[in-house]
Amino acid sequence: MPQDFSPPPAEVIAEDVARALAEDLGSGDVTAALLPDVADIAYLLCKEEAVVAGRPWFDACHRALDSDVAIEWRVQEGERVPAGTVLATLSGRARALVSGERASLNFMQTLSGTATTTAAYVEAVRGTRAKILDTRKTLPGLRLAQKYAVRCGGGSNHRIGLFDTVMLKENHIRAAGSLTAAVRAARAAQPALPLVVEVENLAQLQEALEVGCDRILIDDFDAVTRREAVRIANGRIPLEVSGGVSLETVRSVAEDGVDCISVGGLTKHVHAIDLSLKLGPAPR
């Protein structure tokens, strides 16, 4: 299946960029004002191996400051590039190029970092049935951007927020009196939404299988119990693992036969990719 590199709506990107530029420029870039406001060129350099993500935000930053800027990309979103790759060249007004540098790089380094980390997890489970999912543990205000970057890295999105999927956990089940009662109440209240149920043991797993839902989260099961859960479920309802999964352990979890593995570290533990924007012609 082709990977979905569709970015969020243009208005979402514009809002992200407006916030970033406002906090950086304030009343005006006093240092860029020292430069002659003449036509100039620049290039975007990636200094380490990475999976590229964030082009729409980069473009929007520079176009917000210079609507006539020309940006020529040499790489695609989701493309893995080696260190030393020139990602793009720009031609525009010198002051605008410099003023937009930090905000545009902040988006690119963060989103490329998310995509690169995601790609590492996806590669680690290659050949198994497991899909890598993200979580809601995103940077405040950048959820749609980071979830886009996860897709660029080959991962899949879990729920976007608290509004698009019903997810029943221990507190919900306790308040309803039982797992079955919680599921039935959720189905009655939100029949059109996906329903995910977290279970704490194999007895609850069996109950969830019997009452029905769209996915079952087996959180903090040890390997033996996890494999038994896979045997019991037997493909009837997809099983998701979450919690305590690292790049070192994700392969063994996937090999137990689960369908999904959600990893908060894709968006929470961001390793920013080392990028720079330099005035002048790109190196050959």
β-pairing, 131-133 vs 260-262, is parallel
Together in a domain, 144 and 195: yes
Together in a domain, 179 and 257: yes
CB-based burial, 168-200: b 16+ in 10 Å, e otherwise: beeebbeebeebeebbebbeeeeeebebbbbbb
Sign of CA dihedral 133, 135, 139, 141: positive
Q: Is residue 151 part of a domain?
A: yes
Together in a domain, 108 and 133: no
* Count of other CB atoms within 10 angstroms of residue 272: 15
Q: Is residue 38 part of a domain?
A: yes
Task: Tell me the C-alpha to C-alpha distance, in Å, between residue 18 and each of 25, 64, 111, 144, 278.
Answer: 10, 8, 17, 15, 23
Together in a domain, 152 and 221: yes
Together in a domain, 115 and 135: no
Strands (E), the chain: 39-46, 50-51, 70-73, 80-81, 85-93, 131-133, 166-168, 195-199, 215-218, 239-242, 260-262, 275-279
In angstroms, the CA 126 to CA 119 distance is 10
In angstroms, the CA 53 to CA 139 distance is 16
**What's phi and psi for 16, nearest 5 deg?**
-60, -45
Asked if 196 contacts 225 with a C-beta cutoff of 8 angstroms, the reply is no
Residue 278 annotated as catalytic: no
Together in a domain, 159 and 245: yes
pTM attached to this predicted model: 0.94
Q: What pLDDT was estimated at residue 3?
A: 65
Q: Is residue 51 part of a domain?
A: yes
Give the domain range for residue 59. Answer: 10-119+270-279
Q: What pLDDT was estimated at residue 69?
A: 98
Asked if 256 contacts 226 with a C-beta cutoff of 8 angstroms, the reply is yes
Together in a domain, 87 and 112: yes
Catalytic residue from among 198, 240, 256, 259: 198
Residue 77 annotated as catalytic: no
Q: Is residue 3 part of a domain?
A: no
Residue 102 annotated as catalytic: yes
Catalytic residue from among 63, 74, 80, 102: 102
Residue 169 annotated as catalytic: yes
CATH number for 136: 3.20.20.70
Catalytic residue from among 15, 79, 200, 219: 219
- For the chain, the domain total comes to 2
In angstroms, the CA 10 to CA 241 distance is 34
Q: DSSP states of 210-239 as a string?
A: HH--SEEEETT--HHHHHHHHHHHTTSS-E
CATH number for 96: 3.90.1170.20
Q: Is residue 62 part of a domain?
A: yes
Encoded amino acid at 111, one letter:
L
Catalytic residue from among 169, 187, 227, 268: 169
Q: Is residue 203 part of a domain?
A: yes
Q: Is residue 178 part of a domain?
A: yes
Q: pLDDT tens digits, the chain, 284 residues: what are they?
A: 456 778 999 999 999 999 999 999 999 999 999 989 999 999 999 999 999 999 999 999 999 999 999 999 999 999 999 999 999 999 999 999 999 999 999 999 999 999 999 999 999 999 999 999 999 999 999 999 999 999 999 999 999 999 999 999 999 999 999 999 999 999 999 999 999 999 999 999 999 999 999 999 998 899 999 999 999 999 999 999 998 899 999 999 999 999 999 999 999 998 999 999 999 999 97
Q: What is the DSSP letter of 7?
A: P
Give the number of residues written for the chain: 284
Q: Which residues contact 125 (CB under 8 A, 6 or more apart)?
A: 132, 250, 251, 254, 261
Asked if 142 contacts 171 with a C-beta cutoff of 8 angstroms, the reply is no
Together in a domain, 79 and 177: no
Together in a domain, 137 and 87: no
Q: Is residue 162 part of a domain?
A: yes
Q: What pLDDT was estimated at residue 5?
A: 76
β-pairing, 80-81 vs 50-51, is antiparallel
Residue 220 annotated as catalytic: no
Together in a domain, 138 and 264: yes
Task: Tell me the C-alpha to C-alpha distance, in Å, between residue 43 and each of 32, 51, 58, 77, 185.
Answer: 18, 18, 12, 17, 56
Q: What pLDDT was estimated at residue 192?
A: 97
